[in-house]
Amino acid sequence: MPTTKYLLDQAQYLATIGHYDEIIALYNNECPQPSGDTELHALRAKAYYNLGKEQEERGSIEEAIEAYKKSLELDPSYENSYYNMAAIYYYDLEQYSDALHAYQQYLVLTRDDESDRFRKTAIENVTEITNILHVALYKPITDPII
């Protein structure tokens, strides 16, 4: 079985040419069974995150979400996956409850990093989503019920 360093070197090369799906295949083929190697889990999580970004850029929104979810299965503390997934739910799909949950997870994970440049946007979006959900919840019924 190749060393983690070997996998990292191969993955870095593939990332420089934008072949994120090949990175995932490399990890899955070389180490098909989950191991206790936390560094390898982090590498796989990053590969799925990058694949999600690539899918998002291509307009494959559902595939991007699945890649971000897989990233989070491997490393539940990978905050960038939460942020990008939240943005898709909010801006692209208008799935506000899912967006709110993902932004909240992101904010919990970055709570000690006030310098994080995305925190401000996430906080603003949580406020907007909360208002949207509040209005939807308390919107008066305009049509009489018969």
What percent of the chain shows pLDDT beyond 70?
86
pTM of the model: 0.80
Mean pLDDT of the chain: 85
Residues 137/96, Cβ–Cβ less than 8 Å = no
Q: Residue 108: which of 96, 98, 123, 88 has the closest Cα?
A: 123
The topology under which CATH files domain 1-76 is 1.25.40
* CA–CA separation, 127 and 123 (whole Å): 6
The predicted model gives 96-123 an average pLDDT of 92
Residues 54/84, Cβ–Cβ less than 8 Å = no
Q: What is the pLDDT of residues 87-107, one digit of tens each?
A: 999 999 999 999 999 999 999
Q: What is the pLDDT of residues 25-41, one digit of tens each?
A: 877 776 555 566 677 77
3-state secondary structure of 75: coil
- The domain limits of the chain are 1-76, 81-138
Amino acid 34: pLDDT:
55
Q: State yes or no: pLDDT of 3 exceeds 80.
A: no
